[in-house]
């Protein structure tokens, strides 16, 4: 008797030919970007794209992502998730692997209850792929709302919050079947006026019994740290081969600890926005942030897990990078005295490149989960 074949829901890795070479299909048609003005949910002029298997109302993949978000969050048709997420979808978030559209619906209802006036503003959508290979999208949103309802963290606080989120989705035949999403949960907790370290420790000690089951510790991907000397890569001065450029930058700066390279690849006035309210300008501040992470985890080893982009050398690039890292908390730093615990870090970074320099970076990462791994009582 043959073994029953298990459905593999992991998306295929995109090739270079899957990357759009221009910005003809982009968020600009919707007037998106920040919270300065409301998003037009149905603009008149859109460049059409082959969308076999998707609802006929959607003209291209940006149209699909923006409007399903608008329908679910702005119009409060939360049940539309059943039509746009597969029943067996996999969603990785800060707390581990969430399984199935029913869980997504439940979480969305919870968030709307905690923040009845919640708004999601599309700030950018980076896309690649096609109807055959699946569409990959990196959707950055700005979230605002007032905590006038009960949440997983506390009773209503009356606090107003503003944070950003990046959701990397993979969709085919009108359904998202795989997603990695990073919310600024640590920033949210701080804006609610709660003690971030206390909340992190409490959640970690609840384990799978708490509201964040399944336990992220048992579902995180496994990593191996090599003891070999990091390979030295030459960073191209001109960004033509995006894949080569991105890998060289990350390996040089993060794995080989060549922090001087930051001055070579980032503009002097680089604008950075990151988790837990980090927002600054300039290479000096960026270098300080990167060194602070590596100082806390001296044996940190980082790898790129997913990468896609849009654009060209002349007009610039928008790039989405999903990365993961492991390190042992052996250093003094932003996460307190060393605990000697191995920790898993992951995040999504978006770059905007102009004239062969990175001029803007948005990085969301699992900072609450980092604290959970470091502060939870050992079992």
Give tens-digit pLDDT for 187-206.
999 999 999 999 999 988 88
pLDDT at residue 377, as a whole number: 83
Residue closest to 59 by CA, chosen among 103, 7, 24, 15: 24
266-274 and 357-365 beta bridge pairing? parallel
Q: What is the mean pLDDT of residues 62-75?
A: 93
pLDDT at 217: 43
pLDDT band at 220 (very low <50, low <70, confident <90, very high): very low
Give the mean model confidence (pLDDT) for residues 124-129. 96
Mapped onto helix, strand or coil, the DSSP state of residue 214 is coil
Please count the residues of the chain. Answer: 379
Q: Burial code of 195-218, b = ≥16 C-beta within 10 A, e = fewer?
A: ebeebbbebbeebeeeebeebbbe
Check pLDDT > 50 for residue 216.
no
pLDDT-derived band at 45 (thresholds 50, 70, 90) equals: confident
pLDDT at residue 236, rounded to an integer: 87
**Residue 38 pLDDT more than 60?**
no
Strands 175-183 and 85-93: parallel
**pLDDT class for 117, splitting at 50, 70, 90?**
very high
Residue 40 reports pLDDT greater than 70: no
- In this prediction, residues 227-251 reach a mean pLDDT of 87
Residue 215 has pLDDT above 70, yes or no: no
Residue 28 phi/psi, 5° resolution? Answer: -55, -35
Residue 75 makes CB contacts below 8 A (sequence gap 6+) with none
For the chain, what are the domain ranges?
16-183, 242-375
What pTM does this model have? 0.91
Kindly state the average pLDDT of the residues 226-236. 74
Q: What percent of the chain has pLDDT over 70?
A: 88
**DSSP conformational letter for 350:** E
Residue 98: band (very low, low, confident or very high) from pLDDT cuts 50, 70, 90: confident
Fold identical between 16-183 and 242-375?
Answer: yes
Cβ(302)–Cβ(321) below 8 Å: no
| pLDDT interval class at 248 (50, 70, 90) | very high
Pick from 97-101, 155-159, 174-178, 265-269: least confident: 97-101
- Is residue 345 scored above 50 in pLDDT? yes
242-375 CATH choice from 1.10.10.350, 3.10.450.50, 3.40.190.10, 3.40.30.10: 3.10.450.50
Say yes or no to pLDDT of 34 above 60: no
Fold of 16-183: Nuclear Transport Factor 2; Chain: A, (3.10.450)
How far is it, in rounded angstroms, from Cα 173 to Cα 131?
A: 8
């Amino acid at each position: 008797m043959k073994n029953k074949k298990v459905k593999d829901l992991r998306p295929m890795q995109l090739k270079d030919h899957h990357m759009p070479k221009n910005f003809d299909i982009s968020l600009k048609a919707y007037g998106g970007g920040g919270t300065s003005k409301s998003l037009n949910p149905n603009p008149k002029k859109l460049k059409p794209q082959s969308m076999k298997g998707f609802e006929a109302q959607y003209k291209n993949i940006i149209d699909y992502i923006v409007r399903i978000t608008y329908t679910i969050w702005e119009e409060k048709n939360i049940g539309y998730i059943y039509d746009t997420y597969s029943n067996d979808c996999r969603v990785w978030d800060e707390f581990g692997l969430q399984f199935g559209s029913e869980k997504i619906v439940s979480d969305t209802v919870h968030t709307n209850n905690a923040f009845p006036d919640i708004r999601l503003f599309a700030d950018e959508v980076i896309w690649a792929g096609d109807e055959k290979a699946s569409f990959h999208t990196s959707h950055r949103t700005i979230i605002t709302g007032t905590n006038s309802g009960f949440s997983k963290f506390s009773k209503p606080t009356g606090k107003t919050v503003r944070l950003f989120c990046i959701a990397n989705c993979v969709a085919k035949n009108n359904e998202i079947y795989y997603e990695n999403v990073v919310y600024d949960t640590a920033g949210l907790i701080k804006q609610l006026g709660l003690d971030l370290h206390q909340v992190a420790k409490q959640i970690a000690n609840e384990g799978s019994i708490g509201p964040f089951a399944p336990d992220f510790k048992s579902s995180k991907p496994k990593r191996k740290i090599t003891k070999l000397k990091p390979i030295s890569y030459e960073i191209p001065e001109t960004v033509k081969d995006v894949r080569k450029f991105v890998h060289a930058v990350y390996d040089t700066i993060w794995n080989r600890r060549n922090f001087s390279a930051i001055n070579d690849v980032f503009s002097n006035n680089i604008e950075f926005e990151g988790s837990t309210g980090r927002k600054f300008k300039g290479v000096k501040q960026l270098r300080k942030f990167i060194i602070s992470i590596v100082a806390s985890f001296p044996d940190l080893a980082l790898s790129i897990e997913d990468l896609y982009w849009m654009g060209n050398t002349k007009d610039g690039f928008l790039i989405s990078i999903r990365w993961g890292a492991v390190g042992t908390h052996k250093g003094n730093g932003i996460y307190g005295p060393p605990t000697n615990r191995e920790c898993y870090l992951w995040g999504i970074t978006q770059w905007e490149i102009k004239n062969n320099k990175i001029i803007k970076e948005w990085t969301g990462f699992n900072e609450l989960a980092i604290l959970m791994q470091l502060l939870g009582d050992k079992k």
